[in-house]
Amino acid sequence: MLPPSLQQTILLGGILLAPIAVAVPSTPSPLDACGSLASKNISSITVADVSNCYRAIPFNSTQAKTTLETVYTLFKDYYVFTDLALNPRVPKPFKNEPVDVLGRLETIGRTKYSSDFQFHTDIRATIEALKDGHASCDVNCYASYNFVNRLALHAPVVNGTQQLRVFRDIHDDEYKGCIVETIDGQPSWPYMKWWSTNVLGYSHDPNARLNLALATQMYKPDMGRFDTFDGLFAARTVPPANNTIEYQLRCDGASKPIQISGEWIVQPVNDKVNFDSIESFVKNVCLAPNDEESAHGPTPAPVPIPNPSPAGPLPGISVQEFPGAEKILEGNGTVFYHLKEQPHIGVMVIHTFDIAPVEIEGEVVFQGLTALNSRNVTNLVIDFQSNIGGYVELSAIVVQLLFPNKSPFDVLLQADQRVAKPLQQAALHGYRANTTEYMDASLLVDLKTGLPYKDNSIFSRPVTLTRNGRQNLYTERTALLVPTIPQSQVDVIKTFPWTDNADNIRVITDGRSGSATGMTTYLLTNEHNVEAFVVGGTAGEDMSMFSFAGASVLALSDIQQTYKGLGAVSPMRDIPYSSTIRFSWLEVYARDSSIPLEYDAVRFRTKNHLNYSIETSFDRSAMWKQVAALSWKR
């Protein structure tokens, strides 16, 4: 049964809900729903104020038709997993329902809407149902406000029992550490499992989604230290069902449980936007020109925390947050620590692969490893928690700095791409023609020669693959072109005690580790036999090391620009409302496998599953020590 407060967010399951009536203010007012939102002092905006404005946006069937047709074409001819998603039959740790994304979009096309918000919410939910972190639909005007709850929760195992507890409380951490017994009157654990399993997309593994829902520590480069990430249960862009979440808590030493209201703090994402009515909201927010960027990086944008961060210490190596671990060097995506009481252990935290130029960050990784070696470190812990991906090129550099290539094919991930008819025509002119990789084979490797293709003929001679009964055209097996590290670096690193030596390396992930991070972890664990530890999820249940490792991501706008740049007409019209729609395009395979990695569940598993304890939830260095102690006896 669905907790009633969640019905708004869940629209799938065969039947779409009837359109929700437009909210009518109870007292007559010259202001409409968006006008009344605009007139409020920011500090007193409620969830209902935002919801009422969103729901009041009228449905324009002309615009909706354009939107739906474009999304439909994108998922019919460009998204690479449309056929695989039909009936994946994947083993543990995945849990997939078959998703007929085209069928669901057709259902939306037959539904009568009066609310534009409902229409867009249904499209978004259809794409989220794919449980692919690379596939998303974000419409800017319906993500104009952030909602952060008073409490952020986590699920450590204490004395052998896993329970939801308060990770942080905006009110001076008053209830931090208390056990959460109920959420909106429902037993908290099944409620949270239900919420994360059904509301979130992101991963084929519900336990990775559980980790994403909950709070954790995440490295903040602007602060130069780890800080709280609230988790997507407590920090949202979709308006929650009610103005508060009602919690029943049990705190240490108290004989009785207590009830508290967890209010949502509502903040505009962009305070420069001007509107004073429904009409001006549509004009100035929904239809505003899109200044979106291309989708090179990871998809799921971390939800910003509305409270301005405390000024905090200056970034740089002066911030020494862990008494037992010395920070020795940091780049924009990488931080190196040296454990003081176990001086043979070094730690490399890579918190993002979304750093360009990749060669510069690669140099940081090289310098960090060199520094650890000069301190006589012999064993390396690599921490990928919360890293949701970025550049495959950087991932390739990192892997080579640990396992130098013996053959140029070592670090290449085999891949293919959908080749629909409209693409073939435009691709004739795409060779080295533009900066978007979608139709340019100079960025792909011919696996027969190990070199980039010399022309774009790969798009003119596709192969037919049949998946779940559907036939479609794909390129032959190829691979993304990635850099190799210079021989001068190989000559230095080859003497390090962990280089080419899986026994001296361990990886820590949290299941949220996604995309390029997943590919890196795949290469380290499956091809180089490094052992990985995954932390969190549900104690005692199997869990994925990583998520959405099986593809590269692009935005719809990238394809549109490619067509424009080539002077060709895209089969997709631009979407009227400013939005970012992302999709998986290049699907990768594990070596010698015929199952695309995205659905190759066994490659995601690890036998090493750790629980969070109270200590390791709040002190990352305690987790590094735990992994080192479990891995290397001294």
Ligand X SMILES: *[C@@H]1O[C@H](CO)[C@@H](O)[C@H](O)[C@H]1NC(C)=O
Strand 165-169 and strand 235-236: pairing? Answer: unpaired
3-state secondary structure string, 444-497?
EEECCCCEECCCCHHHCCCEEEEECCEEEEECCCEEECCCCCCHHHHHHHCCCC
Q: How far is the CB of 195 from ligand X (least distance, A)?
A: 13
- Neighbouring CB atoms inside 10 A of 591's CB total 14
Strand order in the sheet with 325-330: 325-330, 334-339, 345-350, 379-383, 505-509, 531-535, 608-610
SS3 of residue 532 by DSSP: strand
91 Cβ neighbours under 8 A, 6+ residues apart:
601, 602
Complex with ligand X: residue 107 or 561, whichever CB lies closer: 561
Complex with ligand X: residue 376 or 529, whichever CB lies closer: 376
Write the DSSP string, 7-24: TTT---SSSPPPPPPPP-
Complex with ligand X: residue 184 or 393, whichever CB lies closer: 184
Q: How far is the CB of 4 from ligand X (least distance, A)?
A: 4
| Nearest-angstrom CA–CA distance, 87 and 85 | 6
| Nearest-angstrom CA–CA distance, 8 and 23 | 14
Q: How far is the CB of 476 from ligand X (least distance, A)?
A: 25
Which helix (H) or strand (E) element contains residue 262? strand 258-268
Residue type, 520: T
Question: Is there a contact between 333 and 355 (Cβ–Cβ < 8 Å)?
Answer: yes
Q: How far is the CB of 333 from ligand X (least distance, A)?
A: 8
Residue type, 244: T
Q: How far is the CB of 471 from ligand X (least distance, A)?
A: 32
Complex with ligand X: residue 241 or 595, whichever CB lies closer: 241
Complex with ligand X: residue 12 or 158, whichever CB lies closer: 158
Residue owning tokens 């340019």: 440
Write the DSSP string, 346-366: EEEEE--B--SSHHHHHHHHH
Complex with ligand X: residue 145 or 599, whichever CB lies closer: 145
Question: Which tokens go with 465?
Answer: 């693959």
Q: How far is the CB of 114 from ligand X (least distance, A)?
A: 12
- Neighbouring CB atoms inside 10 A of 18's CB total 11
Q: How far is the CB of 47 from ligand X (least distance, A)?
A: 10
Complex with ligand X: residue 133 or 331, whichever CB lies closer: 331
Q: How far is the CB of 612 from ligand X (least distance, A)?
A: 9
Complex with ligand X: residue 434 or 584, whichever CB lies closer: 434
Complex with ligand X: residue 422 or 565, whichever CB lies closer: 565
Complex with ligand X: residue 132 or 361, whichever CB lies closer: 361
Complex with ligand X: residue 4 or 313, whichever CB lies closer: 4
Question: Which tokens go with 121?
Answer: 């919410």
Q: How far is the CB of 598 from ligand X (least distance, A)?
A: 28
Q: How far is the CB of 331 from ligand X (least distance, A)?
A: 4
Question: Is there a contact between 354 and 391 (Cβ–Cβ < 8 Å)?
Answer: yes
Question: Is there a contact between 297 and 555 (Cβ–Cβ < 8 Å)?
Answer: no
Q: How far is the CB of 414 from ligand X (least distance, A)?
A: 28
Residue nearest to ligand X according to CB distances in the complex: 565
* Contact positions vs ligand X (CB under 6 A): 4-5, 41, 43, 60, 62-63, 157-160, 184, 241-242, 246, 331-332, 360-361, 364, 375-376, 433-434, 539-540, 561, 564-565, 576, 610-611
Residue owning tokens 């490792």: 549
Strand 414-417 and strand 379-383: pairing? Answer: unpaired
